[in-house]
Amino acid sequence: MDHHDNSRRRFIKLTAMGLAAVPFANVLLSGTASAADLISESDPVAAAMKYKADATKAPERKDTTALCSNCNFYTGKAGEASGPCALFQGKLVAANGWCTAWAKKPA
Ligand code: SF4
């Protein structure tokens, strides 16, 4: 009887600890994901803006010099492959990307 009670108590304790750890793991994972993730072309906002990570693959792009890296909404550093965009908070866009909101960065 005693033995049973002990193992049952141990099981409950382990289960409770496991459940308690889940929300923390989620916070850690989503925290790092939103800091450095490249936006996906299939993201609903990106898709609505017809965003392409490779500007040359965007049929709507008329100005062949238009890239995220020379867009007014782009705040990435020159020479880096990706950077933040004011339209996609918490995500990065490709320096060589493009979307319909492109506006030339003032010189
Ligand atoms: S707004 Fe500019 S920087 Fe942002 S995704 Fe569109 S083209 Fe790229």
Domain limits of the chain? 1-35, 37-107
Is residue 43 within 6 Å of ligand 1 at its C-beta? no
Whether 1 shows a pLDDT value over 60: the answer reads no
Model pLDDT for residues 76-86, shown as the tens digit of each residue: 999 999 999 99
Q: Is the whole-model pTM more than 0.75? A: no
In which residue are the tokens 């049973």 written?
Answer: 4
| Phi and psi based region of residue 99 (left: phi greater than 0; alpha: psi -120 to 50; beta: remaining) | beta
Q: Which two tokens stand for residue 25?
A: 């793991």
User: Which atom, in ligand 1's list, is nearest to the CA of 69?
Assistant: 3
Testing ligand 1's pocket by substitution, the residue of 68, 77, 100, 104 carrying the most ligand atoms inside 8 A of its CB is 68
Q: Return the closest-CA partner of residue 88 out of 47, 32, 30.
A: 47
- Architecture of domain 37-107 in CATH? Irregular (4.10)
pLDDT at position 107, please? 85
CA distances from 25 to 16, 17, 43, 90 (A): 15, 13, 24, 19
Segment 31-56 mean pLDDT: 86
Give the mutation target among 51, 92, 96 for probing the ligand 1 site: most ligand atoms within 8 A of CB: 51
